[in-house]
Amino acid sequence: MLETGSSSTFVPLIILSRINKKYMSKFFTASIGRKLIMSLTGLFLVMFIAVHMTVNLFLIFDDSGELFNRAAHFMATNPAVKIMEPILGLGFLIHILWSFLLEYENWRARPVKYDKKNPGVASSWTSRNMLVLGALILVFLVVHIIQFFWVIKFNPESMKSVVIQGVQMEDTYLLVSDLFKRSVVYDIFYVIGGILLGFHLSHGFWSGFHTLGLSNKNWMSRLQIISRVYAIIIAVGFSVIPLYFLIKF
């Protein structure tokens, strides 16, 4: 009796598992599933951008570089941050690939283009150009990684070291501030990158919550306001750093 009961329970579990796999597979290949992935990865990156900007602002709060170096050293040696790094990289990769995939699907499903006479009636300029903004931000991100992250992560020998409160660490402040001080072109490039990121976030922030189901009229109006405020803070926060070094030094 026990063996019969066990097998009779086991069979439905196998069937249920196969059904779940089937529907989950369909869900993630369907448009709504892909939009959900875009939203979740996008909101995850929104949190990272806020943290990254906060750490970067330490550059202008202390000209000695001690504050920024301590923050950079903490981020480089903290076990939790090390675990999050590959997750963050995967989040960026999925978000980028999915954005191109969704745009391609939308292009195929829309044989008739937007009305060129009055395209703003259906949607905002930012929402219509999210892919373009994302591609430009990707260029900025690649340059940013080459200039800073790659050197810090894979070529620390090329950096000078500094001792702060008895702890030896890479002089990350010198690496970053030196580039801002000597390259006007990079300063301008960085400011443009911050502004583009702000435009991208002004739509992406509230759109992510909308996909997750917060489509209530009151919620949407509030989220759109928060989205604009957040986008302005991010754009100004990233732009003020190179401008600080450009003007002061």
Question: How confident is the model at residue 224, as a pLDDT?
Answer: 87
- Tell me the pLDDT band of 51, cut-offs 50, 70 and 90: very high
Query: Measured between alpha carbons, how far is 154 from 149 in angstroms, rounded to an integer?
Result: 8
Classify each residue of 99-115 as buried b or exposed e, where b means 16 or more C-beta atoms within 10 Å of its C-beta. beebeeeeeeeeeeeee
Instruction: Tell me the pLDDT of the chain averaged across its residues.
Output: 81
Residue with tokens 């283009």, as numbered in its chain:
113
List C-alpha distances in Å: 15 to 11, 28, 165, 238, 241. 6, 20, 61, 52, 57
Contacts of 204 (CB under 8 A, 6+ apart): 42, 46, 130
Query: Measured between alpha carbons, how far is 191 from 184 in angstroms, rounded to an integer?
Result: 11
118: three-class secondary structure by DSSP: coil
Query: 52-70, pLDDT tens digit by residue?
Result: 999 999 999 999 999 999 9
Query: 210-224, pLDDT tens digit by residue?
Result: 777 766 777 788 888
Q: Which helix (H) or strand (E) holds 163?
A: strand 161-164
Contacts of 28 (CB under 8 A, 6+ apart): 34, 37
Q: What does the pLDDT average to over 217-239? A: 90
Q: 5 pLDDT exceeds 80? A: no
Q: Supply the DSSP symbol for 212.
A: T
The CATH code of domain 33-108+127-248 reads 1.20.1300.10
**Cα–chain center distance at 147:** 18
Q: 121 pLDDT exceeds 60? A: no
Question: How confident is the model at residue 227, as a pLDDT?
Answer: 92
Decide: 235 and 195 in contact? Cβ < 8 Å: yes
Classify each residue of 175-188 as buried b or exposed e, where b means 16 or more C-beta atoms within 10 Å of its C-beta. bbbebbeebeebbe
